[in-house]
A and B are shown apart, each in its own frame.
Chain A
Amino acid sequence: MSSGSGSRNTEPWGSFDDNLIQGGGSAVIDMENMDDTSGSSFEDMGEMHQRMKEEEEVAAEAAATEDDVADDGEFLGMKGLKGQLGRQVADEVWQAGKRQASKAFNLYANIDILRPYFDVEPVQVRNRLIESLIPVRMINFPQKIAGELYGPLMLVFTLVAILLHGMKTSGTVIREGTLMGTAIGTCFGYWLGVSAFIYFLAYLVNAQITMLQMLSLLGYGLFGPCIVLLVTYNIHFHFLFYGLWLLLGGLSTLRMVAALLSRTVGQTPRLLLCGTMALLHMLFLLYLHFNYHTIVEGQNQKHRGRSLWFSCCRSGAVRSARRALSRWFLCLCSNNFALSVTMETSTKFRPMTELPDFHEHRDVVIEALPPIGSQQPGELTGNTCSQVGHMTPVSSC
């Protein structure tokens, strides 16, 4: 009925215009003309597809298929994977799977996102490495921080390698984990974690720095510690380490602090941000050195290469960790280092007493530190602090 009067066959399949123009009856296709055995549209499509393919291949296969025709007189496709329909289905499934896999890959593993941050020349990297040790005094105008990730990433890997070397030579035994995992975790954890933390603080105090710049700044700031550790893991002199710690560690910290200062306004925000940065950076270098320090004196110390830190973590008791931390600070205080590190946050490096708020908060400040004069030096040797700072052969741990 639909095609009888329809002389407007614009589409090959007989468009719906015929039914609509007729108007009078329903627009539904008359089902009595449908052949029940025509099968599903899938088979029709398959048949059409196959027919189109056949038209392409018929010339090439005419000779070859002559003798196969007799064997393949069965129904189309019901021969498993060797059948044309089976092969075509497999082909479509493969294409669909491949499309999905490449979509997922492009979405999640698209490294092109990071490509612009690796667009550097070797000369630039070298210059930035050297500049990371030179603090810039201009803090009234935002300093330019390069936003690249190649240098920082390579520096972190170099630090991992140096740390691994230090761990091996100090005979560190990591019970729950591997040396490699610890080294990678420490270095990457520091780089990513501290960057994120300082970025968060910067966000709180409204400093003008992006996450990429922070990653880049801290990454390049690891150049100083790399050199220090490379030297002091091999040459064991305490004064050498303390000197290099102050010199190279201090210079790289100053560079980072100056860059942050130039991008922050307000005294308290500056104090907070730069103080935290300086503290974390200097303490990290100290930690890396002493944690994997070779015990040169005292043979019975050899098996105690495990550090104070790990024993506290493993015991799980917060109190012991706090005790250890306070003991550690005590050692530092007894060498008068902690004071200078934590208090040295003023921009012009004036002495502590000239800070405007010092006299008001003096009691709080002094209370927070453990009293220095109250403990005799003799008391310190009895605890593990000696293992960290003084290297006397005491076996208590």
Chain B
Amino acid sequence: MAASEEASRPFAGLSDVSISEDIPVEGDISVPVGPSRRDDEFSTLDEPVKDTIMRDLRAVGNKFIHVLYPKRSSALLRDWDLWGPLLLCVTLALLLQGGAADHEDQGGPQFAEVFVIVWFGSIIITLNSKLLGGTISFFQSLCVLGYCIMPLTVAMVVCRIVLLVSSGVIIFAVRLVVVTASFGWSTFASTAFLADSQPPNRKALVVYPVFLFYFVIAWMILTYSP
């Protein structure tokens, strides 16, 4: 029952638990807390808030640039985040709201409606693409679909500005062109990311719901009347 034997076989010493006084108890009961030093390098709890915010903003901005120039890169997929989609969705919903809040008729959709359409639609498309055998994960897909709403948000801003000027037929034609272009851009951008994760013969099956989703949003933007 030497102490060394105890150390080599972990449970050897438990059969006789009493320790008589003449056997010296050796060993180090102290706890090595070495990893705390390594943790400080990885933990972001202690850095100034400005650093955290700047890092996140930079990540979001980086992804916006990837949406603007949709080439097949995996940056959007690798580190997904949902800040961008949330920001875009809230902006879009605020812009689309309150057009005719004082009339009985709803000249524009309410905030909740836009929110529900965007998020519920994204979830459905993600589930659909997963069920069709896609390799993309749930949140990655939400991230891509959310970021690709950006062209439509830009189109909404343009429409809003243009509607401040007047609301004739020519203005409608301009709005139609802008919204159609941004709709095409959104669909193209998101399929550039999503379609890669599908087997090649099923791309059309994944693209259709994305098309429908952006079509509904684009149509909401087009029929918005202040």
A52–B35 alpha-carbon span in the complex (Å): 16
Residue B82 CB within 8 A of the other chain: no
Contact with B along A96-134 (1 / 0, CB 8 A): 000000000000000100110011111001000000000
Instruction: Point out the residue from B12, B28, B128, B202 that lies within 8 Å of A13, measured CB to CB.
Output: B12
A-binding segment of B53-61, B66-74, B90-98, B204-212: B204-212
Contact with B along A1-22 (1 / 0, CB 8 A): 0110000010011100000000
Q: Which of B9, B127, B131, B209 counts the most A-chain CB atoms under 10 A from its CB?
A: B131
The smallest beta-carbon distance between A323 and chain B, in angstroms, is 27
Complex: chain B residue closest to A65, CB-CB: B32
Residue B4 CB within 8 A of the other chain: no
A165–B222 alpha-carbon span in the complex (Å): 12
**Across-interface contacts of B28 in A (CB, < 8 A):** 69
The smallest beta-carbon distance between A40 and chain B, in angstroms, is 12
Is A83 within 8 A of B31, CB to CB?
yes
Q: Which size class do A's interface residues fall under?
A: 35 or more
The smallest beta-carbon distance between A4 and chain B, in angstroms, is 9
**Across-interface contacts of A14 in B (CB, < 8 A):** 14-16
Complex: chain A residue closest to B28, CB-CB: A69
Contact with B along A245-275 (1 / 0, CB 8 A): 0000000000000000000000000000000
Complex: chain B residue closest to A122, CB-CB: B204
A164–B204 alpha-carbon span in the complex (Å): 24
Residue A315 CB within 8 A of the other chain: no
Residue B110 CB within 8 A of the other chain: yes
Given A121-B202, A122-B204: A3 and B113 interface contact (C-beta under 8 Å): no
A38–B11 alpha-carbon span in the complex (Å): 14
Residue A360 CB within 8 A of the other chain: no
Given A44-B14, A64-B34, A173-B106: A115 and B212 interface contact (C-beta under 8 Å): no
Given A35-B17, A121-B201: A114 and B215 interface contact (C-beta under 8 Å): no
Task: Name A residues whose Cβ lies closer than 8 Å to a Cβ of B.
Answer: 2-3, 9, 12-14, 33-35, 38, 44, 48, 50-52, 54, 57-58, 60-61, 64-65, 68-69, 72-73, 75-77, 82-85, 111, 114-115, 118-122, 125, 150, 153-154, 157-158, 161, 164-165, 168, 171, 173, 178-180, 302-303
A-B pairs with beta carbons under 8 Å apart, 29 shown: A3-B16, A12-B9, A12-B12, A13-B12, A14-B15, A14-B16, A35-B17, A35-B18, A35-B19, A44-B14, A50-B31, A54-B32, A60-B34, A64-B32, A69-B30, A111-B131, A118-B131, A118-B132, A120-B205, A121-B201, A125-B205, A150-B131, A157-B209, A158-B212, A161-B212, A171-B105, A179-B109, A179-B113, A180-B117
List 7 other contacts, CB 8 Å, given A13-B14, A118-B131, A157-B209. A9-B15, A35-B17, A48-B11, A57-B34, A77-B31, A122-B202, A180-B113
Q: Which 3 A-B pairs have the closest CB atoms?
A: A14-B15, A61-B34, A65-B32
